[in-house]
Chain A
Amino acid sequence: MKRRPGSGRWSLTAKVPLLVAALMALAAGLMSSGVLLRLTQEQEGRIDALSSAYLEATASALAPALARQDVWEAFDILDRSQRSFGALRLRLAAAISPDGRVLAATDARRLPVGAPAAPAVDREPRFIWASRDVVESGIGLGRVLIEIDVSEQQAQRFRLGLVLVAANLGLATFLAVLGWWLVRRMLRPVRLLTEHLGRGVAAVPAEVSQ
Chain B
Amino acid sequence: MRRRPGAGFRGAGQAGPPAGPQGDAPTRRRLLGAALAALSAPPAVRAEEPITLGLTPVFLDSDLALLNAIEGDLSNRLGVAVTLVKRRTYQEILAMLLAGQVTAAWICGFPFVRFRRQLSLLAVPVYKGAPLYEAYFIAASEVPGAELVDFRGRTHAFSDPDSNSGWLVTRHLLAGLGTTPDGFFGRTFFTYGHRNVVRAEAAGLADCGSVDGYVWDVLAEREPALAGKTRTVFRSAPMGFPPIACLSTRRSTRPVAALGAALTGLSGDAAGRRILDLLRLDGFVGADPGLYDSIADRFRSLPS
Contact = CB atoms under 8 A, between A and B. Distances in A.
Interface of A: 70-72, 75-76, 79, 104, 106-109, 112-114
Contact of B187 (A76, A107, A113): A113
Contact of A112 (B190, B199, B204): B204
A108 B204 contact: yes
Nearest to A114: B187
A112 B196 CA distance: 17
A71 B189 contact: yes
Nearest to A111: B204
Nearest to A70: B189
Contacts of A109: 204
B191 interface: yes
A168 B228 CA distance: 53
B259 interface: no
A106 B205 CA distance: 8
A72 B189 contact: yes
Interface in B202-219: 203-205
A108 B203 CA distance: 6
B196 A72 contact: yes
A111 to B, nearest CB: 9
B190 A72 contact: yes
B196 A76 contact: yes
Contacts of B192: 72
Contacts of A114: 187
Given A72-B190, A72-B196, A76-B196, A106 B155 contact: no
Contacts of B200: 72, 75
Given A72-B196, A79-B199, A108 B205 contact: yes
Most chain B CB atoms below 10 A, which of A71, A72, A75: A72
16 contacts: A71-B187, A72-B189, A72-B191, A72-B196, A72-B200, A72-B205, A75-B205, A79-B199, A106-B203, A107-B203, A107-B204, A108-B204, A109-B204, A112-B204, A113-B187, A114-B187
A191 B35 CA distance: 120
Nearest to A108: B204
Nearest to B140: A109
Interface in B129-173: 155, 157
Nearest to A110: B204
B251 to A, nearest CB: 36
B157 to A, nearest CB: 8
Contacts of B203: 75, 79, 106-108
A107 B202 CA distance: 9
A108 to B, nearest CB: 4
Nearest to A109: B204
Nearest to B203: A108
A79 B196 CA distance: 11
A114 B192 CA distance: 21
Given A76-B196, A79-B203, A107-B204, 8 more contacts: A71-B187, A72-B191, A72-B192, A72-B196, A72-B205, A75-B200, A75-B203, A114-B187
